[in-house]
Amino acid sequence: MTMQRLRSCEQTASSEPMTTTPMTILTEAFKESQQAFGRTLERKDAVVVSWPSVPVEIVRAAGLNPLVVRGRMGSTPSADAYLEPGVFPGRLRWLVEAALSGYFSDAACLVIPRTSDPDYKCFLYLREFGRLGIGPALPPVLLFDLLQSEGANVHAYNAARAGALLDELTRVTGRSVSLDDVRLEIARANMARAAARRLIAMRRGAPRVTGTEVFPLLGAFWGLDPDLYANLAAAAAQELEERAVLGGPRILLAGAPVDGPVLHSAIESCGAVVVAEVGPWGSSAAGEDVPCFDDPIAALADKYCADAIGARTPIARMRHTIAGLLDDVDGVIVSLPPDDTVFGWDYPWLRNLLEKRSIPHTCLHSDSCGPVLPADQERLDTLMNSLATRTEVRRG
C-alpha cells in the first residue's frame, strides 16, 4: 500500500468516533483490500493476485503492489453467465466479476498462481475472455506455476518460474531490476514477518487478543508496504502485550482456509478464543524469514514452495502443520463450506487424530464470508457446552 493510501486509511479512521491506533490502521487496510474489488481500481501499479502464494517480494521488486483477492457476500451476475456452478469458489467468482465489470482495466496485470484446479481454470477463462473480446479490455493475465511436490527437479523448476515471473512483471513496468533489488525486498519483507510473529505470540498459550481482532492485523501483511507494516504491527504487538490474558476455550480453526474473520466472530461470540487458523491468512500469513545467502530468486521459490498453504500443499505437510497446533488448543472447528472440494477429503484423518487426542471438535458448513447457518450455530453451541471454560492463566 502506498503512503497516499495509508493517509486515506488514517483519514477514514480519524473521521470515525474512534482513536486511530496501529491496530485500527491495519484493520482498515485489510478491509480496504477487500472493498477494492467492488469498484474500479485506480492504482495503475496494482497486481491482482488470486491466492497469497505469489512472492510479494518479486512483485514489489518490479515496482508494483500486490492486491490479493478475498471472498465476499453478494451476487456475481456477470461471472455467473460464464462460470459453471459449483466449480469456482467465491473469491474467484468475485475476481471474474470484477474483471468483466471493467474494475481491473487500469491494473498493471493479473497473476494467477496454479495453486488449485479452479485457479488454473480461472486463468484459462480470463485468457479466453481476452482472446474473444468478452467484457472490457483486461491487463496482462499471467500464470505463476509454483510446484509444491517433492522431486529432484522441483527446486530448479520453481526457481526458473519465479525468475520468469520477475521477467514478465518487469516487462509490464519497463523497469530494470537487479538481484540486489530482490534482496532488498526480501529483507524488508522479513522485517514485516518478524513483526507479524510478535502478533502471533500474543495468541499462544495465554492469549491476549481475540482472533476477530488479530486476523486483519496479520492479513494486512499481504498488501501493506512492508516497512509500514513492520512499524504498525510492532506497535500493535506492544499494545497487546499490556493486555490481560483472555479466558475461555482456545479454538483452532481448520478445514478450508478462511480469508476473513467472520467465523472467528461467530465462534468468539460463544465465549471462546480462536488462537490459530490453518491457511495462508491469519497465523500462517507471514511464516518464517526467507533465508537469502546467494540466489534470492531461488530462495523465494523455496520459501513459497515450503510455506504456501492451499489446495496443492502436500498432504503430509498439511497434516504436520495441523498436528503442531493441537498442543495449544482446547477444541477444533473444521470449516467445510459448500464450495470446498479439497480440504474435506482429509477430514477423516483429522477426526481420528482429534479423537485419539481427546480434543472435542465440530464441523461448520456455512460460507465463511456470511452469517452462520442455524444448524451450524447449534453445532457451535453443543461444542462450547462440552468444553470446560478455563479461567486460570495458562502457560504461554
Burial class (CB within 10 angstroms; exposed 0-12, middle 13-18, buried 19+) of 223: buried
Please, what's the b/e burial string for 125-157 (b: 16 or more CB within 10 A of its CB; e: otherwise)? bbbebbeeebbeebbbbbbbbbbbeeeeebeeb
**Is residue 87 in some structural domain?**
yes
Let me know if residue 115 belongs to a domain: yes
Regarding whether 146 and 160 lie in a shared domain, the answer is: yes
Q: Assess whether 207 and 166 both reside in one domain.
A: no
Are 251 and 173 in the same domain? no
What pLDDT, on a 0 to 100 scale, did the predictor assign at position 152?
A: 82
| Per-residue model confidence (pLDDT) at position 230 | 98
- Number of domains the chain contains: 2
Residue 395 domain-assigned (yes or no) = no
CA dihedral 356, 357, 362, 363 (to 10 degrees): -70
Q: 104 and 128: one domain? A: yes
Same domain, 103 and 236: no
How far apart (Å, rounded) are the C-alpha atoms in residues 366 and 181?
44
pTM of this structure: 0.90
Give a yes or no: residue 391 inside a domain: no
Three-state SS at 114: coil
pLDDT computed for residue 388 by the predictor: 62
378: CB partners within 8 A, 6+ apart: none
Q: What is the DSSP string of 184-233?
A: HHHHHHHHHHHHHHHHHHTTSSS--S-HHHHHHHHHGGGTS-HHHHHHHH
Asked if residue 166 is part of any domain, the answer here is yes
Task: Show the cell assigned to 94.
Answer: 468475485
In a domain, 396, yes or no: no
Residues 65 and 149 in one domain: yes
Q: What is the pLDDT of residue 35?
A: 80
Q: How far apart are the first and last CA of the chain?
A: 34
Q: Of 129, 148, 177, at which residue does a domain stop?
A: 177
Phi-psi region of 171 (alpha: psi -120 to 50; beta: other; left: phi over 0): alpha
Whether residue 127 is found in the same domain as residue 202: no
Q: What does residue 33 show for φ and ψ, rounded to 5 degrees?
A: -65, -30
109 and 157 housed in the same domain: yes
Domain of 282, CATH number, reads 3.40.50.11900
Q: How far does CA 59 lie from the centroid of its chain? A: 16
Distance, CA of 304 to CA of 325 (rounded, Å) = 20
Q: Domain span at residue 70?
A: 3-177
Q: Tell whether 366 and 324 lie within a shared domain.
A: yes
**Does 164 map to a domain?**
yes
Question: Which of 149, 177, 205 is at the close of a domain?
Answer: 177
What are 54-112's pLDDT values in tens digits? Answer: 999 999 999 999 999 998 888 999 999 999 988 899 999 999 999 999 999 889 999 99
pLDDT < 50 regions, the chain: 1-17, 389-396
Residues 331 and 247 in one domain: yes
252 and 119 within one domain = no
Q: Is residue 305 part of a domain?
A: yes
Q: Which of 120, 148, 177 is the last residue of a domain?
A: 177
Q: Are 133 and 209 part of one and the same domain?
A: no
Q: What is the CATH number of the domain that holds 83?
A: 3.40.50.11890
